[in-house]
Amino acid sequence: MYVANGDPYTMSDRRFPDAGSYAQYLNGHQNKEFIVFENRRVGFYAYSFNHTKNPEGGYVHMIYLDDKYRAKGYGRYVLNKTMKHCKREGVKSLVLHSKKGNHINQDIYTKLGFKCLGDVDDTGFLLKWEMTF
């Protein structure tokens, strides 16, 4: 498995019903890469530095994996790679948001050293997680 930059038009997802909207989402982010396994794109992730949700650090916008590639360690790999990049760039923290009921991913975040800071807003839908370096 590795990550690579490239043309987003070969992937689709229920949140991005057509290749154009998928590409548009990715193009708005500073750092975006595809997750490649056995010469096939199986997912993508996007993160940026100095985002409004973490002005002095990094923010993970999204990690997406095709269904059949989930629960195989790819998400953990991507987060580790992102954390290493943040450290190299001198970023002091990395923030991400997760749905409250997403216990599988929240367990991974905890194991990697992220701390849950509570609700993102008063809707009670998202939790804010932060890793400090």
pLDDT by residue (tens digit) across 65-121?
A: 888 888 888 889 889 988 998 899 888 999 999 999 889 999 999 999 999 999 998
Token pair belonging to 40: 């096939």
What integer best gives the mean pLDDT of the chain?
79
Mean pLDDT of 9-34: 54
pLDDT by residue (tens digit) across 110-124?
A: 999 999 999 998 887
Residues 100, 128: Cα–Cα separation, whole Å = 10
User: Taking the model in full, what pTM does it have?
Assistant: 0.75
Q: What's the CATH fold of domain 2-132?
A: Aminopeptidase (3.40.630)
Domain positions in the chain are: 2-132
